[in-house]
Structure formats: structure tokens, C-alpha cells
Amino acid sequence: MLKPTVNKGRASGRITLAMVARHAGVATMTASRALTQPGLVSQPLRDRVLKSVAELGYVPNRAARALASSQSKVIAVLVPSLANAVFTEVLAGIEDALEGDDYQILIGNTRYSEREEEKLITTYLQSAPDGMLLTGLSPCPRVQQLLAGSPMPLVSMMDLAGADEQPSVGFSQFAAGQTMTRYLISRGYRRIGFMGAQLDERTLRRADGYRQAMQEARLAAAELEVMVAQPSTIALGAALLDRMLEQASGCDAIFCCNDDLAQGAVFQAQRRNLHIPGQLAICGFNDLPASAWMNPTLTTISTPRYRIGFEAATLLRSLIKGETPAARHIDLGFTLMARESA
């Protein structure tokens, strides 16, 4: 007894490339080239294939394409927060850099947790992405072990790695912290406090730069530092200002590890009827949009967040293609925005 022929694509509910080819009246290989290597087919023929794709609702099977080409066309991106404006700007740069390519971006939120970062990297490596963009230089040994065991191209963002380490795009967090502190010293402030939250590696490097500048000027004192592991917020900045003024008598300036804390500190200082900067100078880091519109306007460090994302993605794409980049480490620098608060 003859069994009826079953259209496997229809039976599974999935439109296949072979069905697209039949609909367009071309060979399956030709349809494949029209979608993946358009330069190898004529424009009229490609238009026919694309018309069939649209009419049938065909969605390419990326898993099958990855097996055939040894490329997943996926780039994994790890950031510590999706709510922080700093990292949304970095992501915008990445998306714009890859817009003309057939890459899908897989975004993971580490929530400032080494454990979550390890978990995400382990999961993503199983899917064999073509490359990965990491935020910062993870000090976690297990993360370093995972990355060292993978041939996948990798680029770190926000901070600069050493000459022999993985490629990186960003700026020196240490130098930025040092620059802000030296600026305050040059303005005549002597009891300069440092307020830090979250305590990720970037905050810690800024704090190291602050300490170096204070030690050079022989102004360092343990009571001038307030460091907490809590997530950074404006409300926390207000609370830390009270703590700083209580523990560090004569404090005449405060360098906050980011603008959130600095904005909260300004608001709280005003509640305490402290004149800024006459009685207390306050400065931040990152130059968030609101900082230039506060009263007084906030002295801060402007960081090239969009450009970091754009240049990091561009560098990674070059590495994926096997090209030799002009530079493996790209220092985009930072800008001290001297305003009214300090």
C-alpha cells in the first residue's frame, strides 16, 4: 500500500527554504545564496526570492545556518544594568555599529554580580556566539578561566586592559579619578572626601586614582572615604553626605563616584543650608543629562559612552572577520566638566 507523501515543512508548521525556492521558481541553493550571499545572484532573481520570503512568511533557521557556515551571526553583550543611562548609551552605540550587518545582539544583565556574570557567560558559550562584548575587566578567576578556554573573539568595554590582555575600548578609570581629585586640590580644597557605592571594579579604580592624588598632596585620611556596596541612587547620595559630614570634620569638598550620588549630595546639602561651593564643593562622574541643568550645575567627568559601544562593536566585528586591527586597545579619553558646584 502506498503511503501519502507528506510535506515536512507544512506538517511541522514551518516554512522551509525549499518551499521558498519552489515558490520563487529557483533552485534551493540559489534561494540560499540570494539570502546569505546576495552578491552572487542577479538583483531581479534576488527580488523574486525576497518576494516569496515575504509572501510565505519565511523565517531563516539560524541554528541550521550556523552549522553550515560555522557562524552563529550572534554577538553576546554583557552589561551590569539595563536601567542605568550609562549602559543604555553604550548599547545604542553597539546597535548602530552593527546595524548594517546580519548580527543579532544577545544582551545579558549581570546585575553587578560576578556569579551572574559567570552564569551568563557559561550559558552563552554553549550557543557559540561569534563574539562577545564585556563591560569592564572582570577580576573573577572562574570568568577568566571560561574566557581563556574559548577561541571566541572578545572585547572589553569601559576600562582599558593591559597590553597583553584582551582587546579593550574605554578610558583609564584610575586616571579619571586622579584628574578630578587633582582639580579639586588645584582649586584650594584640602579636606576632600570620596563617596562610592556599588563598588564594582570601575568605582574601585576611580577610588584608587583619588587616593593616589591625595597621597601625592599629603592630604589622605581614612575618615574622608565613605564606601558602601549598596546600589547607587540619588537617595543614597543624600544619606552618604550626612555620613561624610558626621565622620569627616572640616570636609570642604566631596568627589562622588557617579552623578547619581552627587545629585543626591547636592540636594541634601541644600536642605542643610550649606552653600555650594562656598561651604562645600560637590562633583560627580559620568555627566548624566540632568547634571548640566542642576542649580548649581554639577562639576563632573564626561565619559564617551556611545563611542565606547560603537568602537568596541567595530573592533569586535574586525576580529570576527580575522582582520588585524590598527589597535587592540582604544583609549577614548574623558573630559572634566568644570561647572558651578566645585
CATH architecture of 173-302: 3-Layer(aba) Sandwich (3.40)
Kindly list the averaged pLDDT for each block of 10 residues, start to end, along the chain of length 342. Answer: 43 76 91 82 90 84 54 90 94 94 92 93 90 89 86 94 89 98 98 96 97 98 97 97 97 98 98 98 97 97 98 96 93 98 98
C-alpha distances in Å from residue 171, one per residue of 23, 44, 94, 96, 249: 53, 48, 17, 21, 34
Q: Please tell me the predicted confidence (pLDDT) of residue 7.
A: 44
> 17-60 sits in which CATH class?
mainly alpha
Q: Answer yes or no: same fold for 17-60 and 72-171+306-333.
A: no
Burial of 263 (0-12, 13-18, 19+ CB in 10 A): buried
* Coil, helix or strand at residue 333: coil
Q: What angle do CA 174, 178, 183 make, to 5 degrees?
A: 155
C-alpha distances in Å from residue 290, one per residue of 236, 259, 293: 17, 9, 5
- Residue in the structure block whose three cell numbers are 557559540: 128
CATH architecture of 72-171+306-333: 3-Layer(aba) Sandwich (3.40)
| Residues 244, 57: Cα–Cα separation, whole Å | 62
**Amino acid (one-letter) located at 73:** K
Q: Please tell me the predicted confidence (pLDDT) of residue 4.
A: 41
- The answer to whether 202 touches 173, Cβ cutoff 8 Å, is yes
- The answer to whether 209 touches 175, Cβ cutoff 8 Å, is yes
| Residues 101, 88: Cα–Cα separation, whole Å | 20
Spell out the domain ranges in the chain. Answer: 17-60, 72-171+306-333, 173-302
pTM of the model: 0.81
Q: Please tell me the predicted confidence (pLDDT) of residue 15.
A: 85
